[in-house]
């Protein structure tokens, strides 16, 4: 979170925010402005943070069960946080799996190692990948 909220120049931001690069030419600027405010952003549970097509198909009762932990074997793959429980509180951010991590690698190439590490400690987890 600190990495994305401390990007100082628009040149640096253009290099990092590569998701939707060709569909929305100013997407990097919007993401940069949103993520600069990460530390002071309002938070909500992870299951309510995402609004992609997969999440829109979830029944409200299922979302509530995920939010309060009644269903507890689901893991969301977040571009910012990696493996995330639906009950975790997350701030508002704008990242895609095509954006870069602080080591210069695309986020989509980073999360498999996070999953492997997480699953080794939690064997009954089902994964939901957030593709934004």
**Per-residue pLDDT tens digits for 8-39:** 998 999 999 987 666 667 888 999 999 999 99
Q: Which pLDDT band, with edges at 50, 70 and 90, does 88 fall under?
A: very high
CA-to-CA distance for 100 and 102, rounded, in angstroms? 7
If one compares 43 and 21, the residue with the highest pLDDT of the two is: 43
Q: What percent of the chain has pLDDT over 90?
A: 45
Q: Which pLDDT band, with edges at 50, 70 and 90, does 93 fall under?
A: very high
Q: Which pLDDT band, with edges at 50, 70 and 90, does 50 fall under?
A: confident
Those residues whose C-beta lies under 8 Å from the C-beta of residue 14, and which sit 6 or more positions away, are 28
pTM (whole model) above 0.95: no
CA-to-CA distance for 34 and 105, rounded, in angstroms? 21
Q: What is the DSSP track for 31-79?
A: HHHHHHTGGGS-EEEHHHH--SHHHHTS-HHHHHHHHTTSS-SEEEEET
- Residue 132 has a pLDDT of 40
């Amino acid at each position: 979170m600190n990495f994305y909220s401390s990007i100082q120049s628009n040149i640096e931001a253009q290099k990092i925010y590569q998701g939707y690069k060709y569909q929305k030419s100013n997407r990097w600027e919007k993401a940069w402005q949103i993520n600069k405010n990460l530390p002071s952003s309002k938070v909500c549970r992870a299951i309510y943070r995402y609004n992609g097509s997969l999440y829109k198909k979830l029944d409200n009762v299922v979302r509530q069960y995920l939010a309060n932990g009644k269903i507890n074997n689901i893991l969301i793959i977040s571009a910012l946080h990696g493996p995330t429980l639906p009950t975790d509180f997350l701030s508002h951010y704008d990242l895609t799996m095509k954006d870069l991590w602080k080591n210069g690698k695309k986020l989509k190439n980073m999360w498999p190692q996070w999953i492997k590490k997480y699953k080794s400690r939690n064997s009954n987890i089902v994964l939901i990948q957030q593709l934004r």
